[in-house]
A and B are shown apart, each in its own frame.
Chain A
Amino acid sequence: MRAREAGGAGGTRRYLLGAALIAGPLLLALFGPLLAGEAGPRAVSFTPGGGHWLGTDFTGRDVWRQILLGGRPVVLVAVAATALGYAVALPLALAAALTGRAWLEEVLLRPVDVLIAVPTLLLVLLAATALSPGPVGLAVLVAVAAVPDIARVVHAAAVEAAARPVVEALRLHGESWSRIAFGQVARSIRRTLAADAGTRLVGALHLVATAAFLGLGVQPDAADWAVMVDRNRPGLLLQPWAVVVPALLIAGLATGTNLLLDAALHGGGRKGTRR
């Protein structure tokens, strides 16, 4: 006879691994700029060592200092873009799912469907070339690119949740729209939302990194992990750290986020679903 425990040993391991992967990049991104200190004198480009812990980059700056400074733009823009995308898409999709009127559902979701047809990177590239945005503009662009996908997923999950008797009961008891939408429908699909938010964040991270890699929204010599990967490529064989370390940090952040969400979903996945 087996007694079921929520989570279990596998879940804990997954939590720890995810947390370990995410901790380094996240701490660097958040607190790195505080520790960076003053810029030292420039040295020769692409020297390994020579008083520089991780060597120097293509302009002879200290790589460690660049890493300390370069996380914040990537991570902040990605997180802000995901949050903004959800802030727009979630109410839109819930409104479409909860309205009983087919025409209103169409009006709310059709424009979004048009956007979905445009490749995300193309959209960001075009807009970035035309508008040359800063970090805030980039976050908005990435968010706009994510809204259609988020709205689609949330709507699909919410339609089913909105048809349950509990929603009818809440309507019958005069509950407000926001309580029904956020307190009941969004809450009952929170696992789907969490899974989607995880992939969305990683997607935004990649998009921001790609944009930076292509030189959009950032200066060509900015302290930015993605820019570092791009600019230091020529010296890869002379001084690998300037490319490898920021690349690993971005990869660790993406993998760790997914592992953590995965563990959270598994841990709570079976709770309260049985009747």
Chain B
Amino acid sequence: MTAPVLVSVDGLRVAVDGRALVDGVGLRVRRGRVTALVGPSGSGKTTTALALLGEYPPGAQVRGTVAASAGPAGYLPQHPATVLNPARRVGVLLRDVARRTGAGPAAVEEALRDAELAGVEGLLRRFPYQLSGGQQQRVVLAQALLLGARVIVADEPTTGQDARTKARLTALLRALAARGTGILLLSHDLGVVAELADEVVVLDAGRVRRCGPPSEVLDGFAPVAPGRPVPAVPPARPRPPGPARLAVTGLTARHPGGGTVLHDVRLVLRAGECLALVGRSGSGKTTLGRCLAGLHSRHRGLLLLDGAPLPRSVRGRDRAELAAVQYVFQDARASFADGRPVGGQVARAAVRLRGLRGPAAADEALALLAGLGLGPAQAARPPAALSGGELRRAALARALIARPAVLVCDEITSGLDAATRAAILGRLAELRAGSGLALLFVTHDLSAADVLADSVATMDGGRLLPGPAGSSRSGDEAP
């Protein structure tokens, strides 16, 4: 550990309204090394990482020092789409950054090569939303490289990625480190941490619990060996097949731009059944989920709920139909309104969809949140004061409070610590067995799919194929 220090953080304390988000945190990011920051959700990882960029929550009281000798740090956020201007093409986004640093087209070429984007056809002419999550991530990385960032903060970079994209990103980060970039990696994925990190800092409730090389720190940190996710739920199979709740036939969906995303998809979800939907990013998994929930209505296809036709658009559905098919958004934070207590937003869904009175809805929301490990104090906070993992659970609670017959979950276990993930999977398994909830579980998390799902289907280039990814043709870079 003699590599020069690029960033050093000492005794960092960030408090909002007297409540410390992190307290006394110290860490080093060194040239050519990967420092990993791990810990349960809400432990202060993101707060610490943002401090490296000079960003603090509004109204925060800050003590301690953050010394960055290496100039600007690049930030690879959990949801890369949020930092890419949606109205500008990738080429323009990159050239703008290049112009700021006085770099020419050659530098853009080089950054694209370093971010492993050089081979993507027509990339520079696309808009960010026309890229897959993995590609967006690499565009953000290319921007950071163009800026000359010598430190890169990667916030849950492998979250919600399929195994292949994940392996590719891991290799990319390792290659960057080998070229002398210092990397701060925030991750719940202990496998990735064990593989990449030179030093691991374990946070818990805003304090550093342990710190050292991964071989020492990760042993006994979690009840899981690195790389092997926790078997959360006792598999409750075999089960007699229930009646069909949702049947989909001939679903061919297009994007506003005109490209066809889904080709003639048909599927049946029975009561109590869980179908896991896997596939590369950009293959159409999310679009299928959105079609079922009525959020993507540009499709030809027939949806039948308990045998009755279901309107394509959420606008055409009545309360019972809305409540029957619920959807949990991948970006939980963006699905909550800013500045309002999360508990109230969960309760509101019950008021609207089930006609409960305010106090009864509030009680039920609190009980449901408590069952997912969120106490009344957390329920009373606005989204900005909750961590990504806490919001993920609140988003699930908001869908469950409607008592849906069919629940579409989009990557809801990604970026969660082992305990939270187990709690969520356990809750879903209970609901399947107890109230016959039918689940469409869109995921990259094959072990979660294994534990929870009766069957796995793979989305490949907009077509639904039975069986897990390995058994099918694995397409090349899908747009």
Binding site for B on A (CB under 8 A): 1-6, 100, 164-166, 168-176, 183-184, 187-188, 270-272, 274-275
Q: Is the CB of B56 within 8 A of A3?
A: yes
Asked whether A171 and B315 contact (CB < 8 A) given A165-B331, A165-B335, A166-B335, the answer is yes
Report, nearest first, the 10 A-B pairs whose CB atoms are least far apart: A174-B352, A173-B349, A169-B335, A165-B334, A3-B62, A165-B335, A271-B58, A171-B314, A174-B353, A174-B322
Query: Which residue of B65, B79, B314 contacts A172 across the interface (Cβ within 8 Å)?
Result: B314
From A168, A271, A272, give the contact of B314 (CB < 8 A): A168
Closest to A3 in B: B62
Whole-angstrom CA separation of A95 from B342 in the bound complex? 27
Chain B CB within 10 A, most for which of A5, A100, A272: A272
Our pick among B50, B64, B82, B337 for the contact of A1 (Cβ within 8 Å) is B64
Q: Is the CB of A165 within 8 A of B337?
A: no
Is residue B384 contacting chain A, with contact meaning CB distance below 8 A? Answer: yes
B321 to chain A, nearest CB (A): 10
Q: CB distance B398 to A100 under 8 Å?
A: no
The secondary structure that dominates the B interface is mixed
CB distance from A142 to the nearest CB of B (A): 34
User: Which of B64, B329, B402 is close to A165, meaning CB atoms less than 8 Å apart?
Assistant: B329
Q: A184-B337, A275-B82 are in contact. Are A173 and B58 (CB under 8 A)?
A: no
Is the Cβ of A272 less than 8 Å from the Cβ of B338? yes
Complex-state Cα separation, A243 to B79, whole angstroms: 59
Report whether B65 and A173 are in contact in the complex, using a CB–CB cutoff of 8 Å: no
Interface contact tally, CB-CB below 8 A: 86
Expressed in whole angstroms, the Cα–Cα distance for A4 and B402 within the complex equals: 40
**How far is the CB of A167 from the nearest CB of chain B, in Å?**
9
> What are 24 sample pairs from A and B whose C-beta atoms fall under 8 A apart?
A1-B62, A2-B62, A4-B59, A5-B59, A6-B59, A100-B315, A165-B329, A168-B314, A169-B329, A169-B336, A172-B294, A172-B326, A173-B352, A173-B353, A173-B398, A173-B402, A174-B353, A175-B348, A184-B337, A271-B58, A272-B338, A274-B58, A275-B77, A275-B333
Asked if B441 is an interface residue, CB under 8 A from chain A, the answer is no
- Contacts A174-B353, A272-B338, A275-B333; A169 near B66 (Cβ below 8 A): no
A174 with B323: CB separation less than 8 A: yes
Does the CB pair B58–A272 fall under 8 Å? yes
Q: Which residues of A contact B295 (CB under 8 A)?
A: 168, 171-172
